[in-house]
Amino acid sequence: MARRSDHSREQLQQMAISAAIAILNEHGVAGLSARKVAKSIGYTVGTLYLVFKNLDELLLYVNAATLDDLQRAIMQEANVHTDPAQILKTMALAYLRYAQQHSARWSLLFSHRLPANQPIPAWFEQKITSVFDGVKMPLQQLHPELNESALLQATRELWSGVHGACDLGLSDKLNLGGRFKLEELIESFVENYLFGFAKSKGIA
Amino acid sequence: MARRSDHSREQLQQMAISAAIAILNEHGVAGLSARKVAKSIGYTVGTLYLVFKNLDELLLYVNAATLDDLQRAIMQEANVHTDPAQILKTMALAYLRYAQQHSARWSLLFSHRLPANQPIPAWFEQKITSVFDGVKMPLQQLHPELNESALLQATRELWSGVHGACDLGLSDKLNLGGRFKLEELIESFVENYLFGFAKSKGIA
DNA sequence: TAATATTCTGAACACTGTTTAATTTGAATA
DNA sequence: TATTCAAATTAAACAGTGTTCAGAATATTA
């Protein structure tokens, strides 16, 4: 295993991922390039392609790290309250705050598409499921009688709304006209959905 | 007003916009470039920059056209039913179908960001508001007692969910695991939200 | 030390958005 | 009609992009 520098492939990968995240935070998605990442870790572009199949693969790992981060940010605020509905509202606001404070990473996470016909790896899908599971828990606490299937669907419905509001809101496509704050809209949405979900299932 | 060809600036703009849309439909967002658009209308790149400030401006007009198209697609299906709730469900499914059938244009509409600090033009915001107004109408029919402000917010809440479900669903980030169809999830979401909205307002 | 395998670079390729000097062109003027 | 002049258009250039790969540099093995 001859190597010029003293960085293993794994180290090199991790260095590149960290460098990419730093560039994203400082210069946004448009400011990111393979050469800049390479330069930032003291290597040439070619080396990057020795460790990643292509730039899309690097971005996939960056997004995976963002997903971990995002989950941490959401779950951190989850234990502040005991009321499940209150927990879900707090998680939704944490989701929004993360998107606001890490706009470039958040934007990349949802705008990046793998080349056509290349499916999302199973380990990445698992990370997504894991985030949803964090949302599912308080929802289950709220409705213990629901089966796994109904719970899974309700989680997706609820979080689609939270995500959609963040996506449209942060790209100025909600046209609230300054009359409402995005935080209020999201809180109100969660309340309304939870209320309707309970009622339509004949609960509460 | 000497001109070499017989295309006015306005004609040139419209030709470029149409060409860009055609390229998007055929080769996706990644297949679009200034040179390809120029070549497609029989001109050189430089001419494009005589008519548009930059590529972002061209894409803005493309997105405006998509917004018009999208609204038409939604409103077209709106008059099939008389029940407002049914209308809203049909509109949501039309939104999904448009996103599926015009994935590149839909994707560009929501992923394209103008350069930093450059605000969305008022005429473009008006188009967004106009789409929301189409959703607002059946919602008002459903709840005539609501004031303009509450109606506006409910419209945004409802459509955030529809949009979020389409966005996540079509990029394989909902992880439904093949257990549910996206159409069913969206229909169920609209039902649940409408139910909860009515109940939380002390109506119905 | 010599042979071999791995790491890494530098240069190239085809592309991108954008700018601008030079040219072509049509129309107005003399 | 010939000349002038301004607008339309191009071609070429610039700096950047993702990606590849022959060859140089380095470490391990014999």
Q: Which residue, chain included where needed, has tokens 């299906």?
A: B77
Which among A3, A76, A193, A130 has a CA at the least distance from the CA of B190? A193
Answer yes or no: is pLDDT of A199 > 80: no
Q: Give per-residue pLDDT as tens, B81-140.
A: 889 999 999 999 999 999 999 999 999 999 998 888 899 999 999 999 999 999 999 999
Distance A43 CA to D28 C1' (A): 23
Tell me the domains of chain B and their CATH numbers. 1-52 (1.10.10.60), 66-200 (1.10.357.10)
Pull the structure tokens for residue B62: 């493309």
Please tell me the predicted confidence (pLDDT) of residue B201.
Answer: 62
Verify whether the Cβ–Cβ distance B199 to A196 is below 8 Å.
Answer: yes
Q: CA B184 to CA A67: how far, in whole Å? A: 27
Non-local CB neighbours of B71 within 8 Å, separated by 6+ positions: B127, B130, B131, B134
Read off the pLDDT of each residue in B143-161 and give the average, rounded to a whole number. 96
Please tell me the predicted confidence (pLDDT) of residue A80.
Answer: 85
Verify whether the Cβ–Cβ distance B189 to A157 is below 8 Å.
Answer: yes
Q: Environment class of residue B35 by beta-carbon count within 10 Å: exposed (0-12), middle (13-18) or buried (19+)?
A: exposed
Q: CA B139 to CA A34: how far, in whole Å? A: 48
Nucleotide nearest to B115 (CA to C1'): C17
Nucleotide nearest to B44 (CA to C1'): D10
The reply to whether A34 Cβ lies less than 7 angstroms from strand D is yes
Read off the pLDDT of each residue in A71-100 and give the average, rounded to a whole number. 95
Answer yes or no: is pLDDT of A204 > 60: no
Q: Which residue, chain included where needed, has tokens 């499914």?
A: B93
Answer yes or no: is pLDDT of B202 > 50: yes
Cross-chain CB nearest to A161 (options B129, B160, B176): B160
| Other residues' Cβ atoms within 10 Å of the Cβ of residue A185 | 20
Q: CA A45 to CA A166: how far, in whole Å? A: 35
Do the Cβ atoms of B135 and B159 come closer than 8 Å? yes
Answer yes or no: is pLDDT of A200 > 80: no
* Disruptive mutation site among B148, B152, B160 for chain A (greatest number of A CBs within 10 Å): B160
Read off the pLDDT of each residue in B26-37 and give the average, rounded to a whole number. 97
The reply to whether A54 Cβ lies less than 7 angstroms from strand D is yes
**Counting runs of H as helices and runs of E as strands, what totals does chain B give?**
9, 0
CA dihedral B173, B178, B179, B181 (to 10 degrees): 70
Which among B63, B66, B70, B65 has a CA at the least distance from the CA of B135? B70
Residue of B nearest to A165 (CA): B160
Distance A159 CA to D24 C1' (A): 54
Residue of B nearest to A124 (CA): B173
Read off the pLDDT of each residue in B15-38 and give the average, rounded to a whole number. 98
Phi and psi at B66, nearest 5°, equal -65, -40
Q: Give per-residue pLDDT as tens, A133-179.
A: 999 999 999 999 999 999 999 999 999 999 999 999 999 999 998 88
The reply to whether B4 Cβ lies less than 7 angstroms from strand D is yes
Which among B164, B62, B52 has a CA at the least distance from the CA of A193? B164
Cross-chain CB nearest to A168 (options B154, B160, B177): B160
Q: CA B165 to CA B71: how far, in whole Å? A: 18
Quick one: pLDDT band at residue A2, thresholds 50, 70, 90? very low
Do the Cβ atoms of A107 and A29 come closer than 8 Å? yes
Protein-covered nucleotides on strand C (Cβ within 7 A): 5-12, 15-21, 24-27
Q: Give per-residue pLDDT as tens, A94-147.
A: 999 999 999 999 999 999 988 888 999 999 999 999 999 999 999 999 999 999
Q: CA A148 to CA A136: how far, in whole Å? A: 10
Do the Cβ atoms of B185 and A156 come closer than 8 Å? yes
Residues of chain B neighbouring A28 (CB-CB closer than 8 A): 116
| Other residues' Cβ atoms within 10 Å of the Cβ of residue B200 | 16
Burial A49-68 (b: 16+ CB within 10 A, else e): eebbeebebbbbbbbbbbbe
Answer yes or no: is pLDDT of B1 > 60: no
Burial B46-65 (b: 16+ CB within 10 A, else e): ebbeebbeebebbbbbbbbb
Angle ∠(A71,A76,A78) on CA atoms, nearest 5: 100
Quick one: pLDDT band at residue B2, thresholds 50, 70, 90? very low
Task: Give Rg (Cα) of chain A.
Answer: 20
Read off the pLDDT of each residue in A17-35 and give the average, rounded to a whole number. 98
Distance A193 CA to C11 C1' (A): 59
Quick one: pLDDT band at residue B80, thresholds 50, 70, 90? confident
Length of chain B counted residue by residue: 204
Q: CA A59 to CA A36: how far, in whole Å? A: 14
Q: Give per-residue pLDDT as tens, B164-176.
A: 999 999 999 999 9
Q: Environment class of residue A113 by beta-carbon count within 10 Å: exposed (0-12), middle (13-18) or buried (19+)?
A: middle
Distance A182 CA to D26 C1' (A): 57
Q: CA A172 to CA A177: how far, in whole Å? A: 10
